[in-house]
Copies of this chain bind each other. A is one copy, B any other.
Amino acid sequence: MAGKIYTAGLVVIGDEILSGRTHDKNIAQIASWLQVQGIRLAEVRVVPDVEGRIVEAVNALRAANDYLFTTGGIGPTHDDITVDAIAAALGVPVVIHPDARAILERYYADKPGGLTDARLRMARVPQGGELIPNRMSGAPGIKVGKLFIMAGVPHITAGMLEALTGTLEGGAPLLSETIGCWTAESEVADLLREVEKAHPECQIGSYPFFRKGRVGANFVVRSTEADQLAACVDALCAALGEEGMDFTPGGI
C-alpha cells in the first residue's frame, strides 16, 4: 500500500531561458534529484524577470505542493529580483542575513571597494530565511519554510542540492524499469494499454525513437511498489514475447 505522495513545484526564473539564449539544465537536474528523495516534480513554470509574474507562479505552485524550488535571479545585479519577489509572495520583508553578511565581509575584505551595496544584495533573504551552503561557490541558497531558492548556474545549484540531500521528508521513491523494443509504437499500443490496465499501481510511458535507420521505443514502467512493478514488467515482457517482438529488458 502506497503512503503519502510528496510533490514539489519548480519555478525557473529567467529571461535568458525564455529568449532561447540559455538552455535550461536545472529542470532535469532537480527532477532527478527529487526522485531520489521520494518527491515527485509535479509542475514547472518558466517565468520572466518580472516581479508580478514570479509572485503569481510561486504562490500557485507553493499552494499546490509540499515543496517549492526556484532557480535563477539571486546574484548581485539589478535583474536579480528573486528574493524580493519571494518576500512579496510570502508577505514578509527582505532582511540582511547575518551569516551571509559575514561570509561576504570575509570574502571582500581584501578586494577593491570592499563590501559594496551591490555585493551586500547577495546577503538579502526573505525574513525567516536560512542559508543553504554549497561547496561549489561562496553564494548560498536560501530555505524559507518549504521553499528553496537556488542559483541559476547549474553547477552551483548542484552544490546546493548536495547540501540538501536527505534533509527533506519524502515518500516511497518512484521506481522505474525500462524495456526497449524495436517496433513502431503503434504496433503495440493496444498491448501497452491492456498491460497497464491490469496493473493499477503502475504507469507505462512509451518513448519512441529513430536510430540506425530503424524505429523503436522504450517503455518505462513506474510504480512506488517494487512487487507491482516487477509483476507489470514480467507481464509486459511476456506480452511482447507472444507477439514475437524484439525487446531488451533495461532499455535500448
Among the listed B24, B119, B204, which residue makes an inter-chain contact with A28, where contact means beta carbons less than 8 Å apart? B24
**A124 contacts partner chain B, Cβ-Cβ < 8 Å:** no
Which of A14-22, A142-150, A163-171, A225-233 sits within the interface? A14-22
Residues of chain B contacted by A220 (CB below 8 angstroms): 16, 21
Q: Flag if B222 contacts A153 (CB, 8 Å).
A: no
The tally of residues in A whose CB lies under 8 Å from a CB in B reads 69
User: In terms of DSSP, what is the predominant structure of the interface of chain A?
Assistant: mixed
With A24-B27, A27-B46: A189-B19 Cβ-Cβ less than 8 Å: no
With A27-B17, A206-B79: A53-B43 Cβ-Cβ less than 8 Å: yes
Residues of chain B contacted by A29 (CB below 8 angstroms): 20
Minimum Cβ distance to chain B for residue A106 (Å): 15
Q: Which of A106-146 contact B (CB under 8 A)?
A: 113, 116-119, 121-122, 137
Minimum Cβ distance to chain B for residue A135 (Å): 14
Which of A70-78, A86-94, A234-242 sits within the interface? A70-78
**A185 contacts partner chain B, Cβ-Cβ < 8 Å:** yes
**A42 contacts partner chain B, Cβ-Cβ < 8 Å:** yes
CA of A23 to CA of B32, assembled, Å: 10
CA of A126 to CA of B202, assembled, Å: 29
Minimum Cβ distance to chain B for residue A156 (Å): 9
Q: Render A181-210 as a binary contact track against B, CB cut-off 8 A, 1 for contact.
A: 000011111101100100000011111111
Minimum Cβ distance to chain B for residue A186 (Å): 4
A contacts, CB < 8 Å to B: 12, 15-25, 27-35, 40-49, 53, 57, 75-80, 113, 116-119, 121-122, 137, 153, 174, 176, 185-190, 192-193, 196, 203-210, 220, 222
- Give 18 A-B contacts (CB < 8 Å), ordered by A residue: A16-B207, A16-B220, A17-B44, A19-B31, A19-B32, A19-B176, A20-B28, A20-B35, A24-B24, A43-B46, A76-B189, A77-B206, A78-B193, A79-B204, A79-B206, A118-B186, A118-B189, A121-B189
